[in-house]
Structure 1
Amino acid sequence: MLKRLFLIFILGLASLPALALQPDEVLPDPALEARARALSAQLRCLVCQNESIDDSNATLARDLRILVRERLKAGDSDQAIKDFLVARYGEFVLLKPPLEPRTLLLWIGPPGLLVIGGIAILWSIRRRRVAAPAPLSAEEQARIDDILKREG
């Protein structure tokens, strides 16, 4: 019984989100720290690629969190920090790239593929639909009746 409770406790801990932010990274000014956390949530971890630098334990994500905090302490605006990181790493560093002509495919690509897939499925279903067979002529029906009488 105790082993089961311990196992449930361990599995429960494993399901909690990992806190990547280290205590030595936290800024003493709560307002700056709040800005740093908000910015970090908008920046992609270039190693993990599917999570923000705020959630990632990767070394590069830690370096980026520290860089964001250093630039905040230097007085940079949020947009200036984003612009700096985009200039250094490209727009891929942003979790939500801006809606511009060059990023239009990123925004319309997934919904467009979904629509194209739906159309393909509907087209496939319609193509498989078999039309009802034409009724038998009187001559064909007579032949079938003749065959059934001989066999039966």
Structure 2
Amino acid sequence: MAVIRWLLLVCLLVASSAASAAIEIQHFDDPALDGRYRALTERLRCPKCQNESIGASNSPISADMRARVAERLRAGDSDAEIEQAMISRFGDYVLYDPRLDARTWLLWGLPFALVVVGGGVIAAFVIRRRRLRHADLDAEERRRLQALMARHTDDAAKETS
């Protein structure tokens, strides 16, 4: 029993060290650069992974992107220059918050447009229902309705007798 526990402990330690070793961390002497690096790696999305930042991803492309971010930070590039370099290489998908430009206006505007259109459809439906509910019957419709009601009343009286 002790051997099985010891084996499980060894397996757990190996698995945890392998998982933590998968993501390399860039080291900076300047805490400001380190903070910018962490912020950038959390703001940039991995092109291979689904909705995972390059800071949290184990994929090789994320490792390459993290190395490029660190290299450009050490070279003195601004955050905007680094983001632009990543966008030019991987496309707008690498940004969690895409910029508002000619290609992304639909992405930003569509939710608002859908709310306006949905509100219009609901308003039209409510107005139509109110009009139908309060519509008066003309003389011919009233006569037909009375005939149907009289026939139904006669049929019900015959069934009960």
Structure 1 residues 143 and 87: alpha-carbon distance in aligned structure 2, compared to 1, 3 A threshold = closer
Q: Is the 8 A contact 1:20 1:55 kept in 2?
A: no
For residue 151 of structure 2, what is the aligned residue in structure 1? 143
What is the CA distance between 1:19 and its match in structure 2? 10
Per the alignment, residue 6 of structure 2 pairs with: none
Matched with 2:24 is: 22
SS in 2 for 1:72: helix
What code does the residue aligned with 1:46 have?
P
Flag the structure with larger Rg.
2
Q: Distance in 1 between matches of 2:42 and 2:74?
A: 18
CA drift of 1:65 comes to 0.9
CA distance in 1, matches of 2:94, 2:88: 10
1:124 Cα deviation after fit = 10
Shift of 1:119: 5.7
Q: Residue 156 of structure 2 aligns to which amino acid in structure 1?
A: L
8 Å CA contact 1:20, 1:56 repeated in 2: no
How does 1:1-152 map onto structure 2 within 5 Å? Answer: 21-23=23-25, 25-113=26-114, 116=117, 122=122, 136-137=145-146, 139-152=147-160
Q: Percent identity?
A: 42
CA deviation vs aligned residue, 1:111-148 (integer Å, no higher than 9, x gap): 4345556666x38976xx6x66x7741x4443333222
Q: Give the aligned residue type for 1:83.
A: Q
Structure 1: runs of 5 or more not aligned:
1-17
State the secondary structure of the residue aligned to 2:104: helix
> Deviation digits for residues 26-59 of structure 1, max 9, x if unmatched?
3232211111111112211101141221222222
Q: CA RMSD in A?
A: 3.3
Offset at 1:70? 0.7
Which amino acid is 1:65 matched to?
R
What one-letter code is carried by the residue in structure 2 that aligns with 1:151? E
- The CA distance in 2 between the partners of 1:36 and 1:104, in whole Å, is 29
Q: Which runs of 5+ in 2 are unaligned?
A: 1-19
Provide TM-score, normalisation by structure 1.
0.66
* Structure 2 CA distance for partners of 1:96 and 1:20, relative to 1, 3 Å: farther
What letter matches 2:61 in structure 1?
L
Q: Contact between 1:45 and 1:60, CA under 8 Å: does it hold in 2?
A: yes
Letter in 2 for 1:22: E
Higher helix share: 2
